[in-house]
Structure 1
Amino acid sequence: MNQSVLYNPELIQGSIFYHTEDLRIYLWVLFHAREEAGYEGGFYLEKGQYIQSISELKDRLWFYNGKKKDEYSKSRIQRSIKRLERCGWIRAEKMQYGYVFTVFELTDGKERSGGTGPLSRK
């Protein structure tokens, strides 16, 4: 798989991603968001959307803390999602089986509109 990634300097230079879990969650959602509208898991998702439960995010975002494998708590993940929503990087809608995440695209200036996000996959 050959993909190049363009990024916006605002992504890493600002204080938006002071918490490392915010960046990890944002990048996970961004790279798993749909590139085209269609059905996934019985749900119709638009371009730039991804569906996932908090429990599954918790299991997938494990990390090593010293020599042991560790995970973020569900409350920590939910706080990160709220911070990302406040900053305008994503929108999360709670559904029966998890969250539907929408990643916003950075256009000219700081205006964000629905799309795939400030990182564009080519």
Structure 2
Amino acid sequence: MGLIYLISLEGKAYSCKQCQTHLALYSDVISKAFLCKNGKAYLFDKVVNVTVGEKEERMMITGLHTVVDIFCVGCGSIVGWKYEVACEKNQKYKEGKFIIERFKVLGPDGTDMAESDVEDA
């Protein structure tokens, strides 16, 4: 196994709740209107410091998608998923994008996003 290099983000960043590894920039949020089985989630254009799991098909509220779970490289915690393929034509914009579940991360100011009512922390 090779060395793992962590990318430290400059500016307002979301980080893993377990180990505080940076995951994504506040400015890379595409939408804050997503839901997951555990509550609210954010759609990101890009994330860092994650590895991906196996591809699988999941039936979601918006239809069938092929996704891979994403894991924090710092501690191995699952933090969300990446959309690989969207079967519905109107969902194609999600392909290559990432979902990070709010209850798995700290906000840019260190706020526990699961307990925060503030969307733009």
TM-score (normalised: structure 1): 0.31
Higher strand fraction: Structure 1 or Structure 2? 2
Query: What's the TM-score, normalizing by structure 2?
Result: 0.31
Greater helix proportion: 1
